[in-house]
Amino acid sequence: MQIELRQSTSLLRVGMAPISAIFAALVLCSVLIMWAGVPVLEAYALLFKGAFGSAFALKETFTRSIPLIFTGLAVAVAFRSKFYNIGAEGQLYAGALAAVYFGTGLVSLPAYLMLPFLLLVGALAGGLLLLVPVLLKTRLKVDEVVTTLLLNFVILLVVSYLIEGPWRDPMAMGWPQTASIIDEGVLPTLMAKGRLHAGLIVAVLASILIWAVMRFTVLGYEIKAVGFNAKAAEFSGVNVNRTVIFTALISGGLAGMAGVSEVAGLKGYLTLDLSPGFGYTGVAVAMLAQLHPLAVIPAALFLSAVYVGADSMSRAVNIPTYIADVLVGVSVLAILVSVMLTQYRIKWRK
Amino acid sequence: MSDLLDILLTAGFWAATVRIVSPLIFGTLGELICERAGVLNLGIEGIMTVGAMCGWMWVYQGGDLWGGVIFAASMGALFGLLHASFTVYLGLSQHVTGIGITLFASSLSYFVYRMLLPSATTPPKIAPFQNLEIPVLSDIPLIGEALFNQSPLTYLALLCVPVVWYVLHRTPIGLAVRMAGENPVAVEAQGIDVLAVRTGAVMVGSALMAVGGAFITMSWFDAFYFGMVNGRGWICVALVIFASWKPGKALLGAFLFAGLEAMQVRAQQSAGAFIPYQFFLMLPYVMSILAMIIMARRAQYPQALLVPFRRGERV
């Protein structure tokens, strides 16, 4: 078996990569559906209907995609410079902590200032949390994957302590949760019915902004240069460490905004189950988007549809909801292969 | 301070330390073998979950305990093969593949568990490994009870340390594994198949990780819970760095770590009134980060770690 670099890659092939990966993932997971004794096409039809079949379903899918757009962007930006931030989950909670700290009455501004302010402090909190692993990486060469992963567990315990202890809402009938964000800090809903909130607009704007930064600015160019070949970038005068630190601040900030948007747009307060692993799913989103900031939006929508659809499917037929997580995991592996096939060809002859 | 001494002088503390250390030893050795061959295996967290589920499920379905361990190990090896196909044969990103394997392996475990036990609300228990008392030695005060009256899997873990050391450092196979992680071109020049060596190492390493997971369900909690591996895999990855990729130091690191963890459980009981329990639970993760910082300057990564090898390609 020989692996050969292709001379050129057509845009069609790049565009087909995620589609074929998703197709492969759906085919592979159909084995599990057959095992559950449900006709495969019927199960996927139910999943599709659960995600897109009604106005309510559509709104849920879009609502769920908001944090995934943010965490997907966070991962995409970081992976572009080969900074492997797997800590979006923790940074999301850091952002949420900042939002409830400043948003539950400590600061009171008119809504048009309050919302940007909360997003800003949330982004700062997420960025600051990621500053620890990135400084450890640039100063001491400590592997960032392990530190970001371990910090996820630490932050969750900090949240657990705060909502059971000093930040617990005394009015919550003993439930471990914080007080609610003041009205000025609540992201307004977009439609009369349903939970879809203005976080979607912020997320889409963030995608466009990140795309513009990557496409048109020196920083964006440097981030990509460091990712392609850090040594070459260093030789041509890029300050690699500084670039990686900036990347980390942006990445952590985006993940932090996911936390703000979940608290201020959806829940209103902070609990331990704010995120069912949005940070980890962000890796899948970014990979499916091939790290492209604008492609993050459809990728997030797709995975959000998988989760929303799988919930509704498992209510209708007897398939555990974990099928959604399996699909996400398989898609990460499948996209790796399909992207590789856009750049290389495999020759089976020796 | 005297509280601390009290803790150190109870046999229960040492027994707990040895119990906590067992999965860490399996996981750390497994990761160490993979990395020595040049492959970072971030699938460890998921592979441990697979091991935990498979070993437990085997026994729950009526199989015997050792059969469960072998089943868990082979399932681990299978996921290792998947990881190796991606990272060794296709040369894909070891980071992303590992995360993908973890997502896939743990969710698949939960899926299978739910399929086979759709309505279990309280996780059912199995009859776990019984402690095996080694005569005479187990009568030594304090450490006798802890070291010589333990689950057979713990003995297996402790036995694995010298075996892995011997194979890695004193046999031709071990040399090939280590060279594959340092200088694969040289291995190729010797007419040894680098890709096969790396694949083998990742499979053996993953099998060990899965046995570590199986220990948690078959010799500790007796049941399978969701999220029960709880970051132990990541801690093992940190321990490998702490151990500078040496099996002996891995044992030492794992013991230090398990000792601190056993102590924090006991300290929670005495100091729990002043210090919230979450801070005790944080300790293992914070300790892992600290361990990596301490060893950072001295860390001597295998030279070819993370570097895919393509036959005939110039480096």
Q: Bigger pLDDT: A95 or A164? A: A95
Domain containing A20 equals 2-347
Q: Which of A142, A331, A345 to mutate to test the interface with B (most CBs of B within 10 A)?
A: A142
Question: Cα(A34)–Cα(A37) distance, rounded to whole angstroms?
Answer: 5
Closest among A250, A328, A264 to A21, alpha carbons compared: A328
The confidence score (pLDDT) of residue A209 equals: 97
Please state which CATH class domain B2-117+152-296 belongs to. mainly alpha
How many interface pairs between A and B have CB atoms less than 8 angstroms apart? Answer: 135
Q: Which residues pair with A344 in a beta bridge?
A: A5
The confidence score (pLDDT) of residue A6 equals: 82
Of B89, B99, B278, the CB nearest to A332: B99
Looking at residue A67, which CATH number applies to its domain?
A: 1.10.3470
pLDDT tens for each residue of A194-241? 889 999 999 999 999 999 999 999 999 999 999 999 999 999 999 999
CB contact at 8 A, B64 and B229: no
The confidence score (pLDDT) of residue A8 equals: 79
- Report the chain B residue with the minimal C-alpha distance to residue A142: B296
Instruction: Measure CA A152 to chain center.
Output: 14
Is residue A271 packed enough to be buried (19+ CB in 10 Å), middle (13-18) or exposed (0-12)? middle
Question: What is the CB neighbour count within 10 angstroms for residue A186?
Answer: 21
Report the length, in residues, of chain A.
350
Q: Which residues pair with A189 in a beta bridge?
A: A197
Does ipTM exceed 0.90? yes
Is residue A17 packed enough to be buried (19+ CB in 10 Å), middle (13-18) or exposed (0-12)? buried
- How many angstroms away from the CA of B111 is the closest CA of chain A? 5
Q: Which of residues 36-55 of B touch A (CB under 8 A)?
A: 42
Angle at A20 between CA A14 and CA A23, to 5 degrees: 155
Structure confidence at residue A85 as a pLDDT band (50, 70, 90)? very high
Q: Which of residues 222-281 of B touch A (CB under 8 A)?
A: 230-231, 234-235, 237-238, 241, 276, 278-279, 281
Phi-psi region of A37 (alpha: psi -120 to 50; beta: other; left: phi over 0): left
Chain A CB contacts of B261 under 8 Å are none
Q: Give the tokens for residue A96.
A: 């949420």
Instruction: Examine the pLDDT at A350 and tell me if it is beyond 60.
Output: no
| Average pLDDT value over all residues in chain A | 93
Q: Which residues of chain B have pLDDT under 70?
A: 1-4, 272-273, 312-315
The confidence score (pLDDT) of residue B80 equals: 98
The confidence score (pLDDT) of residue B10 equals: 77
- Report the chain B residue with the minimal C-alpha distance to residue A143: B292
Closest among A244, A310, A255 to A282, alpha carbons compared: A255
Q: Which of B41, B78, B81, B103 to mutate to test the interface with A (most CBs of A within 10 A)?
A: B103
Put simply, the answer to whether B91 touches A3 (Cβ < 8 Å) is yes
pLDDT tens for each residue of A281-314? 999 999 999 999 999 999 999 999 999 999 999 9
Closest among A151, A134, A90 to B285, alpha carbons compared: A151
pLDDT tens for each residue of B111-132? 999 999 987 778 899 989 988 8
The confidence score (pLDDT) of residue B3 equals: 67
Domain total of chain A: 1
Question: Cα(B41)–Cα(B236) distance, rounded to whole angstroms?
Answer: 11
Q: Give the tokens for residue A290.
A: 């091939």
- Report the chain B residue with the minimal C-alpha distance to residue A277: B103
Q: Which residues pair with A346 in a beta bridge?
A: A3
The confidence score (pLDDT) of residue B260 equals: 87
Closest among B251, B233, B241 to B291, alpha carbons compared: B241
- Integer-rounded Cα Rg, in Å, for chain B is 20
Put simply, the answer to whether B289 touches A153 (Cβ < 8 Å) is no
Compute the average pLDDT of residues A144-167: 93
- Integer-rounded Cα Rg, in Å, for chain A is 21
The confidence score (pLDDT) of residue A39 equals: 94
DSSP A231: H
pLDDT tens for each residue of A243-282? 999 999 999 999 999 999 999 999 899 999 999 999 999 9
